[in-house]
């Protein structure tokens, strides 16, 4: 899709900025004008409260919102009824930890996550385990950035794990985890699974029925959509059993003085006024990605990753973290250079117009295992090209000169 990449760059207004090379899509992606215009059009022409009012403008807004849900669900091969809009992936994980976890995890139980999780898939489980007297366990990551599957089996075999939480693609190492396999192994011992697809939904063709996780979450702003919207896909029977996460308007069927009954799925988990324009924007984003074709998006990410893995080691002493094989990773590359702090790499690249992230990437346990306080990170999306990677390599070479290395 390299030719397409050049074509689509023009769809992203912010990339018109002189000399800008944006390599921070794992933090947040840029937005095509189709998304910006869909949101603008919603506010200009269709804005109204959804679900409750019967006049035509409200019916139109409701249709736009629910239509977006249907397209978002279809994009990943799931049902609209069990596709819940949240504020972001973080909120989706908190929803499960709170609404499912508090009822189902108790003293002596375990929640099993991996050392490569984002803080979003660590802290909600810490809070749950502390409250419920349960234990939070971790599966370690080997030197190539792959999960230690024998440790997963060992922990599952002890019979106390209630839920396994795993990132589909690591936001630090780029590792593409064998989530179907994790789900199968967990289910064999009666444990549920939550897959964090925040880095995967933007770049893989997903079939959630094939993955078969109990919960799958992702976040709109990394998938060319707006901020303020995330998604939880869950198994119907679990969502039906779970108590609500947040209480308020819209999520109820009837409110009596002391008790209430809940609305049907998915609205039972969507308290308060929904993020209507954001849903419309996310609907436009998945339409945009689907028009390119997710197989082409993946092929493009893979090709850029392979090219970056080939070119970056030209810089003396540069270390790349994560699996060496581009087939085993998404479009995210963390790296370090001896003698230059990652923040200085970020700043010096920034002076050359190259945007890379520097920091712990919300993965402090993993950073400790890697023996570094922070890394620099370059990440790609459809609008990037080999030229952007060449610019990164030039900027890194200049950074070495500045530090007289
Ligand atoms: C793997 C992973 N999970 C979760 C998140 C959290 O996303 P959000 O802040 O949109 O909830 C991120 C964002 O960096 C991520 O990379």
280-300 pLDDT, tens digit each? 999 999 999 999 999 999 999
Average pLDDT, the chain: 96
Residue 67 to residue 46: CA distance in whole angstroms? 14
Q: For the chain, give the percent of residues with pLDDT over 90.
A: 96
Closest alpha carbon to 340 in 366, 319, 322, 365 = 319
pLDDT tier for residue 4 given thresholds of 50, 70 and 90? low
Nearest CA to ligand 1 atom 7: 89
- Ligand 1 probe mutation, 118, 125, 217, 379, most atoms within 8 A of CB: 118
**pLDDT of 6 strictly over 70:** no
Binding site membership of 118 for ligand 1 (Cβ less than 6 Å): yes
What ranges in 116-271 are assigned the alpha helix state H?
Answer: 123-132, 149-157, 179-188, 208-211, 236-241
Tell how strand 83-86 and strand 230-234 pair up: antiparallel
Per the CB < 8 A criterion, the answer to whether 333 and 305 are in contact is: yes
Binding site membership of 305 for ligand 1 (Cβ less than 6 Å): no
Mean pLDDT of 119-125: 98
Closest alpha carbon to 286 in 219, 209, 225 = 225
Looking at residue 404, its pLDDT comes to 77
Binding site membership of 198 for ligand 1 (Cβ less than 6 Å): yes
Ligand 1 closest atom vs CA 221:
10
Binding site membership of 196 for ligand 1 (Cβ less than 6 Å): yes
What is the distance in A from the centroid of ligand 1 to the CA of 52?
32
Ligand 1 closest atom vs CA 90:
11
**pLDDT of 5 strictly over 70:** no
129 catalytic? Reply is no
**pLDDT of 3 strictly over 60:** no
- Residue 214: CB partners within 8 Å, gap ≥ 6? 163, 183, 192, 193, 194, 234, 235, 238
What is the distance in A from the centroid of ligand 1 to the CA of 90?
7
Task: Give 193: exposed, middle or buried? Use CB within 10 Å, 0-12, 13-18, 19+.
Answer: buried
Binding site membership of 171 for ligand 1 (Cβ less than 6 Å): yes
**129, 349, 355, 362: the active-site residue:** 362
- What pTM was estimated for this model as a whole? 0.97
For residues 235 and 404, the model is more confident at 235
Looking at residue 405, its pLDDT comes to 74
Looking at residue 218, its pLDDT comes to 98
- Ligand 1 probe mutation, 90, 141, 282, most atoms within 8 A of CB: 90
Token match 């933090």: residue? 27
């Amino acid at each position: 899709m390299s030719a397409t990449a050049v074509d689509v760059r023009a769809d992203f207004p912010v990339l018109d900025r002189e000399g800008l090379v944006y390599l921070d899509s794992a933090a947040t992606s840029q937005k095509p004008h189709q998304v910006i215009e869909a949101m603008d059009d919603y506010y200009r022409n269709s804005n109204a409260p959804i679900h409750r009012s019967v006049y035509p403008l409200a019916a139109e807004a409701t249709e736009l919102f629910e239509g977006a849900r249907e397209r978002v669900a279809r994009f990943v091969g799931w049902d609209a009824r069990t596709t819940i809009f949240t504020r972001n992936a973080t909120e989706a994980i908190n929803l499960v930890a709170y609404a499912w976890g508090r009822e189902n995890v108790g003293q002596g139980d375990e929640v099993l996550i991996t050392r490569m999780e984002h803080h979003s898939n660590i802290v909600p489980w810490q809070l749950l385990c502390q409250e419920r007297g349960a234990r939070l366990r971790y599966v370690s990551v080997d030197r190539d950035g792959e999960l230690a599957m024998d440790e997963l089996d060992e922990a599952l075999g002890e019979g106390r794990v209630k839920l396994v939480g795993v990132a589909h693609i690591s936001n630090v190492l780029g590792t593409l985890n064998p989530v179907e396999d994790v789900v199968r192994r967990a289910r064999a011992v009666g444990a549920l699974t939550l897959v964090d697809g925040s880095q995967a939904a933007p770049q893989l063709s997903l079939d959630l029925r094939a993955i078969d996780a109990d919960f799958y979450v992702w976040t709109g702003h990394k998938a060319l959509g707006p901020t303020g919207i995330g998604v939880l896909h869950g198994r119907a029977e679990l969502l039906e059993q779970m108590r609500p996460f947040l209480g308020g308007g819209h999520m109820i069927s009837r409110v009596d003085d002391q008790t209430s009954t809940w609305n049907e799925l998915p609205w039972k988990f969507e308290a308060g006024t929904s993020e209507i324009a954001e849903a419309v924007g996310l609907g436009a984003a998945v339409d945009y990605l689907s028009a390119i074709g997710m197989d082409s998006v993946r092929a493009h990410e893979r090709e850029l990753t392979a090219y970056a893995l080939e070119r970056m080691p030209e810089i003396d002493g540069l270390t790349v973290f994560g699996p060496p094989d581009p087939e085993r990773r998404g479009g995210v590359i963390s790296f370090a250079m001896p003698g230059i702090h990652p923040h200085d790499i970020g700043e010096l690249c920034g002076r050359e117009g190259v945007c890379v992230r520097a920091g712990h990437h919300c993965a402090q346990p993993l950073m400790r295992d890697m023996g570094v306080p922070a890394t620099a990170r370059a990440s790609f999306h459809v609008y990037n090209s080999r030229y952007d990677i060449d610019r990164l390599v030039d900027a890194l070479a200049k950074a070495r000169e500045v530090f007289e290395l």
